[in-house]
Amino acid sequence: MTSQDANKHGSRFGRAAIIFKKHGGILRTAQALRAGIHPGTLYAMRDTKALEVVSRGVYRLADSSPLGNPDLVTVATRIPGGVICLISALAFHELTTQIPHAVHTALPRGAEEPRLDHPPIKTYRFTGEAFTEGVETHELDGVSVHIYSPEKTLADCFKFRNKVGLDTAVEAVRFYRERRRIKVDDLMRYADICRVKKIIRPYLEAIL
């Protein structure tokens, strides 16, 4: 490679790195191409280790600071239409002692099943307001991650108590009482949406 080629190579890398940094240092292939990065540049940066492969089709600047929430960031990047839910949302809000072995992700009914090689995911199908209501957006490592609020997550856990365990839902209510300001109206609204008002009411009355 001549010095002229090296300079051209470096300038392409430099322009691409600036684009990556504007997006928190992490991009999907389609995002990178839409932002103006040439496919050849993208793959050359990968091959020279200027980019690291976070997951299939997701790249990150190798000199970026370590990710604080790598699994949530990867899932949010690969599945932008999904919402972090149930055990993963409880863990994010510090409302459980459970350690999720997969990222629990809500998808609208009819959405295509995601294919991720890493991290492992567990998907749940939500419909209507049960999917759209109670979504918070958190900036994690420069990436916007959609996560259900603590109150919506509690309602979801009672709705899916046969999957996550009633003990997990009850523990989450206890932690919610101890660690957060109780928003009764929000809790009951989401319980109504999830059709678990009668089930959750005795547990809420116990904490009020």
Residues 6+ apart with CB under 8 A from 175: 94, 95, 96
What is the pLDDT confidence band of residue 2, given thresholds at 50, 70 and 90?
A: very low
Q: Which of 14-23, 161-170, 197-206 tops mean pLDDT?
A: 161-170
pLDDT at 1: 40
- Nearest 5°: CA angle at 126, between 195 and 102? 115
Q: Looking at residue 7, what is its pLDDT?
A: 42
Task: Report the candidate in 204, 88, 195 with the shortest Cα–Cα distance to residue 147.
Answer: 88
Q: Which H or E run includes 103?
A: strand 103-108
Residue 144's φ and ψ, nearest 5 degrees, are -80, 120
DSSP character at residue 194: T
Asked whether residue 95 carries a pLDDT value surpassing 50, the answer given is: yes
For 102-129, what is each residue's pLDDT tens digit?
999 999 988 888 887 778 999 999 999 9
- The pLDDT assigned to 158 comes to 96
Distance CA 127, CA 150 (A): 19
H/E stretch holding 26 reads strand 26-28
Give residue limits of the domains in the chain: 3-61, 70-207
Residues 35-89 pLDDT 10s: 888 888 888 888 888 888 877 778 888 887 776 788 898 899 889 899 999 999 9
Cα gap 93→166, rounded to integer Å: 18
Q: Which residue intervals of the chain are DSSP H helices?
A: 3-22, 29-34, 39-47, 70-78, 86-92, 129-132, 150-159, 161-164, 166-179, 184-193, 197-207
Of the listed ranges 25-29, 66-70, 130-134, the least confidently predicted one is 66-70
pLDDT of residue 128: 95
- Residue 123 corresponds to which tokens in the numbers above? 């998907």
* Residue-wise pLDDT tens digits, 159-201: 999 999 999 999 999 999 998 888 989 999 999 999 999 999 8
Cβ atoms within 10 Å of 126's Cβ, excluding its own = 21
Q: Does domain 70-207 have CATH number 3.40.1710?
A: no
Helix (H, G, I), strand (E, B) or coil at 208: coil
Please state the pTM of the whole predicted model. Answer: 0.76
**In this predicted structure, what is the pLDDT of residue 48?**
86
